[in-house]
Amino acid sequence: MIVVAESPAYLLIVFLLSLIGAAAVDVWKRQVPNIAVIIVAVTGLLAFFLTGNFDKIWQPLAVATVTIIVGVPLFARQWVGGGDIKLLAATACWFTAKGALQLLTAVLLAGGVLALTFLALRLARRSKVSAGSQGGIPYAVAIAIGASVQVWEYRYW
């Protein structure tokens, strides 16, 4: 069961607006605001309680923990930003284990498209700027797109 499908609309709106805000700030400043991460995580856990899924609350917590454990070495190697790891872990708080795997797939696909778009734009400008020299790719955009696709799929498909 995916909690997104049963969540109150007002929580989904707060969730999606927080993701959009985080993505916008990431594009602009290459930072993910902690307040957005907190709002996303808290509304996700609140959704589990409001939908009566008390017995499944361990799933988003486990997925968020695994996301952070896997993400820390990626951050240490500077392959991904710490804010992106936190935002992905917070976003996972909206999904059961099965839903989190589908979320990760959607985020990775969106991230691939985003990376190719950035590469194409840089090549079109004939810039000699490397991918990491301008702060990398604002991966909060991919997280927001992947999560939005999952919300749409489970809520309206």
DSSP labels for 45-63?
A: HHHHHHTT-GGGTHHHHHH
**pLDDT digit string (tens) for 72-107?**
999 999 999 999 999 999 999 999 889 999 999 999
Residue span of the structural domain in which 102 resides: 3-156
**pLDDT digit string (tens) for 114-131?**
999 988 988 888 755 554
**pLDDT digit string (tens) for 58-71?**
999 999 999 999 99
pTM of the model: 0.89
Number of H helices, E strands in the chain: 7, 0
Residue pair 44/103 in contact by the 8 Å Cβ criterion = no
Q: How confident is the model at residue 132 (pLDDT cuts 50, 70, 90)?
A: very low
Average pLDDT over residues 110-116: 95
Q: Cα(82)–Cα(77) distance, rounded to whole angstroms?
A: 11
Number of independent structural domains in the chain = 1
